[in-house]
Amino acid sequence: MTQPKAAAPAVAAYADTPLRRKVLRRIRNRPTTRGAIVLLGIFVLLALLAPFIAPQNPHDLASLSVMDNRLEPGAQGMTGITYWLGTDAQGRDMLSAILYGLRTSLLVGLTSTAGALVIGVAAGLVAAQFGGAIDAAIMRVVDFMLGFPSILIALVLLASIGRGVDKVIVAIILVQWAQYARLMRAAALVERRKEYIEAAVNFGLPTRHIMLVHLLPNSIGSVLVISTISIATAITLEATLSFLGVGVPVTQPSLGLLIANGFEFLLSGEYWIAAFPGIALVLLIMSLNLVGDRLRRSFNVRGP
């Protein structure tokens, strides 16, 4: 570096802020991205407030009336309740089921992404910092995991441990951590060659301090950007597993399981049981993808 030492942080700050501001401005100026962000916000709010706004508690079998089964959207039930999105085979209000399903889908998507992120970032950081045999061992496992389609790994794991929300989360973490490890290692290796790390090493700072205080915050950016899209991937994977009948249990249905339940009625013209959860799922996935893709392009991050 040719600049005097004291000026360096100021220069960094100057170079840093406009990018963030530019990215924010770019996101705000795109109508589709703005729409996607608003939609995402609505989805999160609906999921959080589901117990308060849902007309019915779909998990409480006592409040369901089997007489009201497979009613059309807008039909009135025995108890005078209006089913705006119709009912399913158990007489469950689809609107309530979707609100609660959204909760399960988002819970699984966010928790599993967070779990995979933590494990993957830790593995990638360790691999980049220590190199040698540790690096080789971690990366061999990563290559091994990425060599198989995620759906197959998750299916086989769930086939041996059974279904359940926690088990689906474990399965998705298992298939997603490896890509974060690879990204994090690559970013940390680039960062490690920079002079401030060299300076920190020469100061005699402990390795743990260098890894957590210098390396981690400076190389995690690209990984975080990619993780936005990965939430969508996680939600898709959960929906697929639940659709195949190995995902979440029937007592806590996600959007995918709701669609699976409605699938058999699709051919007989009772489209609403599968269609409305399907629309909700697709809007959720699309808006996450749009926001993630815009972030990725704005920060100029290459995907895994």
What is the contact surface with other proteins in residues (CB under 8 A)?
Answer: 140, 143-144, 147-149, 151-152, 155-161, 232, 236, 239-240, 243-246, 256, 259, 263, 266-267, 269, 271, 274, 278, 281-282, 285-286, 289, 293
Distance in Å, CB of 80 to other proteins, minimum: 32
Residue 108 or 157: the one with the smaller Cβ distance to other proteins is 157
Distance in Å, CB of 152 to other proteins, minimum: 4
Asked whether the beta carbons of 86 and 94 are under 8 A apart, the reply is yes
Distant-in-sequence contacts of 202-210, Cβ < 8 A, 24+ apart = 207/129, 210/129
Q: Which of 129, 242, 146 is nearest to 188 (CA)?
A: 129
Distance in Å, CB of 50 to other proteins, minimum: 22
3-class DSSP state for residue 93?
strand
Bridge pairing between strands 75-76 and 82-83: antiparallel
Q: Which of 156, 176, 161 is nearest to 249 (CA)?
A: 161
Distance in Å, CB of 24 to other proteins, minimum: 23
Distance in Å, CB of 236 to other proteins, minimum: 5
Asked whether the beta carbons of 101 and 277 are under 8 A apart, the reply is yes
Distance in Å, CB of 157 to other proteins, minimum: 7
Residue 140 or 194: the one with the smaller Cβ distance to other proteins is 140
Backbone torsions φ then ψ of 299, nearest 5 degrees: -85, 0
Q: What is the CA radius of gyration of the chain?
A: 23
Residue 4: CB atoms within 10 Å: 7
Residue 98 or 211: the one with the smaller Cβ distance to other proteins is 98
Residue 4 or 132: the one with the smaller Cβ distance to other proteins is 132
Residue 156 or 190: the one with the smaller Cβ distance to other proteins is 156
Distance in Å, CB of 239 to other proteins, minimum: 5
DSSP designation for 73: T
Residue 51 or 245: the one with the smaller Cβ distance to other proteins is 245
Element (H, E) at 147: none
Residue 143 or 166: the one with the smaller Cβ distance to other proteins is 143
HSE at residue 191, side-chain half, CA atoms within 13 A, is 24
The dihedral built from the CA positions of residue 56, 283, 156 and 134, taken in this order, carries a sign that is negative
User: What is the tally of helices (H) and strands (E) in the chain?
Assistant: 12, 2
